[in-house]
A and B are shown apart, each in its own frame.
Chain A
Amino acid sequence: MGKTTNREPYQQAYYPPSPTGFTRMMRTCFIWQLYRFLVINVKILKMMAKSRH
């Protein structure tokens, strides 16, 4: 069998988006995630406030 020099297209994994290196870095960047933690909490509190009756 010859050396593989191409990649099989049209497979399940061919279509979804993949995160860039920058996106992956930001997912674990402590300062950025601290900010996102606050944002997520505020959003969830807003959602809970809107859910109350």
Chain B
Amino acid sequence: MARILILGAGVAGHTAARHLTELLGKQHEIVVVTPNAKWNWIPSNIWVGVGQMTEEQVTFDLTEIYKKTQVDFRQAKALSIHPQGSADSPSPFATIEYTCANKVGVKENVTYDYLINATGPKLNFDATEGLGPEHGYTVSVCTASHALEANEKLQHVINRMRKGERCNIVIGTGHGMCTCQGAAFEYIYNVDHVLREAGVRDNARITWISNEYELGDFGMGGVHIKRGGYVTNGKTFAESLMVERGMDWITRAHVKKVEAGKIHYELLDGSFHELAFDFSMLIPPFSGVGLKAYGKAGEDITAQVFAPNGFMKVDADYTPRPYMEWSAKDWPQTYQSPSYRNMFAVGIAFAPPHLISKPMQSTNGTPINATAPRTGMPSAAMAVAVAKSIVDMIKGAEKPTHTASMAEMGAACVASTGSSLFKGTAATMTVYPIVPDYEKYPDYGRDLNLTFGEIGLAGHWLKYFLHHAFIYQAKMKLGWSFIPD
């Protein structure tokens, strides 16, 4: 019998758990540890953040789902991992602390044969003074509860505009090292849409602010697509969308500080500026969740297992090189820890070898660049590959048998607005591969037959369909495994 311990039950962790339950017999044990018992389909938080979906429509209780399977679910947060065991335990283990009401604060050591770290990111609001819904002045859509609060504040601003007041709305990224621009991009279009529906759009000045070098970078160094007889950069289309909806944009920006109604930011040229706001949704930077690692004698081996940003080192090539020597081959294939063969990290929890976009610094030395995205689609693909590798390793394989490099997989992103199937619209974008490979595709780094973008109702239908399909799949309802991850 083998015990597989999964830390985290977001897109990556839950996908790994689903596939392991399907592929492994009942003689093996799957333990899932996550501090929040509610699973959240994060892409649809955008709709919660503008009041077009409820929290219940984008979340469900994992306890009920796992009861139907052999998964041993523990509502707890992971504190540390001990991959060599300890003086008292010959087996490797993780120390967890329960967060459920009946055992809150109780600590426990959970041994494992295989560990999947799928803890996702820490939403690092503290990186920017005054950022975030808890101790700051901006809202977020990173969790369902954040999105609910964002909508409450948005409705308050809409009511002010109904009375004739002019309001400034600022949406984007809240630090020079943020990723996830796509979520903010989708949110700004949804906010524009609800303001138009409320009849108050003329009273709003909507401004995009981000750490991207140009609009449409999305932390992937931008994309090129074929359109109108040309191969054109995505910047053109992103700017066109902004102009069509009457929005302004500020790029190459590091938000330094947020005060009530005022954002202080620095630009790549070293200049400092202020931007007034009545409502602002800024995505925070991400970091690892702060897991520690200890050796057999209790010595701290965190720096051996994790990168300085808190994400877990895997089979990537972390050798520091200049940007012009970066390669698609630097990106991990199997997500196995280089130090411990029974440890893997998937989704946002793994440490990328470097950015995808070119690193930039302001003249004051402030890093201002979009960091690498790891969205739902690649996270799920990594989780499936790792689950299959672990199954094969349990059966005797010496090393991981499945790969899911971000330099060999694509991703789709749909920014959709409106709840009506006939009046909504969407910008649909796919890229293949996510990490450009200039050795395979010398001109643009990507396959232009599989990298495309378009605007229209079709993308809106796709997003609506994906919302229901992925929640059905995540609930492990009849035939879930036939739905592609």
Contacts and interface: CB of A to CB of B under 8 A. Distances in A.
B457 A27 contact: yes
Query: Dominant SS at the A interface?
Result: helix
B273 to A, nearest CB: 15
Nearest to A23: B455
B481 interface: no
Interface residues of B, number: 36
A43 B452 CA distance: 9
A44 B412 CA distance: 7
Nearest to B238: A16
Interface stretch (B72-80, B151-159, B240-248, B336-344): B240-248
Contact of A36 (B242, B244, B458): B458
A29 to B, nearest CB: 8
A16 B235 CA distance: 9
Interface string B406-436: 0011101000000000110100101011000
A10 B37 CA distance: 53
Nearest to A36: B458
A16 B452 CA distance: 19
A41 interface: yes
A37 B450 contact: no
A14 to B, nearest CB: 9
Interface string A6-45: 0000001101111100000011101011101101110111
Contacts of B385: 53
B462 interface: yes
B352 interface: no
B458 A16 contact: no
Interface string B441-480: 0000001001010111111011000000000000000000
Contact of B242 (A16, A19, A28, A46): A16
A51 to B, nearest CB: 4
A47 B431 CA distance: 9
B404 A53 contact: yes
A26 B409 contact: no
Contacts of B433: 51
B60 interface: no
A30 B408 CA distance: 35
A45 to B, nearest CB: 8
A37 B385 CA distance: 29
B240 A17 contact: yes
A3 interface: no
B454 A40 contact: yes
Max count, chain A CB within 10 A of own CB: residue among B385, B404, B450: B450
Contacts of B243: 12-13, 16, 18
B432 A51 contact: yes
B457 A48 contact: no
Contact of A28 (B408, B425, B462): B425
A34 B422 CA distance: 11
A11 B432 CA distance: 34
Contacts of B239: 15-16
B410 A50 contact: yes
A26 to B, nearest CB: 7
B314 interface: no
A47 B412 contact: yes
Given A13-B243, A17-B240, A53-B385, A47 B410 contact: yes
B66 interface: no
B322 interface: no
Contact of B457 (A18, A28, A45): A28
B456 A50 contact: no
B249 A12 contact: yes
Given A12-B243, A53-B408, 11 more contacts: A12-B249, A28-B423, A30-B457, A34-B458, A37-B461, A40-B428, A40-B462, A46-B450, A47-B450, A51-B410, A51-B433
Interface of B: 236, 239-240, 242-244, 248-249, 381, 385, 402-404, 408-410, 412, 422-423, 425, 428, 430, 432-433, 447, 450, 452, 454-459, 461-462, 484
19 contacts: A13-B243, A16-B240, A16-B242, A16-B243, A18-B244, A19-B244, A33-B457, A40-B459, A43-B430, A43-B452, A45-B484, A47-B410, A47-B412, A47-B432, A48-B484, A51-B381, A51-B404, A51-B408, A53-B402
**Nearest 10 pairs of A and B residues by beta carbon:** A51-B409, A16-B239, A47-B410, A37-B458, A36-B458, A33-B457, A27-B456, A16-B240, A33-B458, A13-B243
